[in-house]
Amino acid sequence: MGTRVILEWSFSPPDYFEEPLQRSIGDVSLRIANSKVEASLDACVYGQDPGIRERLQTEVMSRFGAAQLVNQKPYELSANPTIVRSEPNGRRSVVAEPPGLAMTIVGHPVDIQVV
């Protein structure tokens, strides 16, 4: 098995889905269970398709939106996935992007709030 890229999102509540969900979407294996969403694919596929991360984010969000129509419960989903690169020799490298910065300017003096 070659190098894999795994995109991981966290969500709450942990019982948002009644049972674990596993789907194959093209070259991607998507698993939703235990407060975590994992999208796993070959590193070459990930590297050659600059739009795949955004499409996977959209896919994950649509799964949650569809579940919300049924269960009528609110949920929280991490804004950005953690990206894990898993090598065949067991080495793993992890990239975590913090959420965006929001700034509020109110009159004088300037007030900066990190959200």
Residue 93 burial (C-beta neighbours within 10 Å; 0-12, 13-18, 19+): exposed
Q: Is residue 51 included in any domain, yes or no?
A: yes
21 forms beta bridges with 32
Share of the chain above pLDDT 70, in %: 84
Domains contained in the chain, number: 1
H/E stretch holding 55 reads helix 52-71
pLDDT at 113: 66
pLDDT at 97: 75
User: Distance between CA 96 and CA 98 in Å, rounded?
Assistant: 6
Q: Is residue 113 included in any domain, yes or no?
A: no
Structural domain boundaries enclosing 11:
4-95
Q: Is residue 111 included in any domain, yes or no?
A: no
Q: Whose structure tokens read 């948002």?
A: 16
pTM assigned to the model: 0.80
**Positions in the chain whose pLDDT score sits under 50:** none
